[in-house]
A and B are shown apart, each in its own frame.
Chain A
């Protein structure tokens, strides 16, 4: 599934320019989070695709979202498909 319209993503703290929503980028980060908790590659790809679909549906009702919004929604969706990876995805910025 891809977005039907362009969605602007406002970066964290607003210190970097706004960019367009990139499904592949989100897919890569979810995939990496699943692999980090030793998930099998197939399961990681499956979870990443499902999470991306959920996030895209959530984004379509909005014209502008923040990167934190995307992260929050992705973590919420990932909790359903892969709770261990969701924990690591949510917490990896808070490790130190």
Chain B
């Protein structure tokens, strides 16, 4: 397999893993619930939710760009194989952690994030009435979720630095689009008049599957990175 294809595959799988994390979707559901419950007009609801998604999009873009910049700045000092070992190890550990801990063992879709942070996000979601507040809430929710998303974002960033420049720029945008895709789906459902209770019920019914899928994808990505980039199990043709 071509090395560029391998790096694109790592980027794509990392983006899918990122997309499977649920904190931003939870905040969006809660925020929309409060907005609809307080008789906010449909137009304003769409403005608030658009602001939120834009905040998540921009912050995710900045986080991946930041990691890419850091790796580019220190690429001469870092041993590539060592970085891949570290990323693969973190990815596998995170996969096991997600399998065991991602959702709390209770009804609902409560996540293993610090309770203070969850309360803060819930309070802000309740008080959000403007698109700009939605933007900052979206941005904050990305930071709150970094404990889970930092490793896939770092793996994607490290894949990006060895790609040609146009692919690097495209890669950052594609990663961000895929990572925020579930929010666009929820946005369309809310905009289309779906009940939040059915969205939340679907999330609750499928939460164990989502948890298993996210954990498994992290493990697969970790082993894939280790096999291709560390031990070179499948050497690139002609090398």
Contact = CB atoms under 8 A, between A and B. Distances in A.
Interface string B92-125: 0000000000000011111101000010011000
Contacts of A37: 195-197
B110 A94 contact: yes
B118 to A, nearest CB: 5
Would you call the interface of chain A mostly helix, strand, loop, or mixed?
A: helix
B30 A32 contact: no
Interface residues of B, number: 29
Contact of A32 (B38, B118, B195): B38
B111 A96 contact: yes
B179 interface: no
B195 A38 contact: yes
A34 to B, nearest CB: 8
Interface stretch (A18-26, A57-65, A66-74, A85-93): A85-93
A96 B197 CA distance: 15
Nearest to B111: A96
Contacts of A88: 33, 196-197, 200
Interface of B: 23, 26-27, 29-30, 33-34, 36-39, 106-111, 113, 118, 121-122, 193, 195-198, 200-201, 204
Given A38-B195, A87-B197, 17 more contacts: A35-B36, A35-B37, A35-B38, A36-B196, A38-B36, A88-B196, A88-B197, A92-B33, A93-B108, A94-B106, A94-B109, A95-B30, A95-B200, A96-B27, A96-B30, A96-B109, A96-B110
9 closest residue pairs by CB, A with B: A94-B108, A32-B37, A96-B26, A36-B37, A36-B33, A88-B197, A37-B197, A84-B197, A37-B195
6 contacts: A35-B38, A36-B34, A84-B195, A91-B107, A93-B122, A95-B26
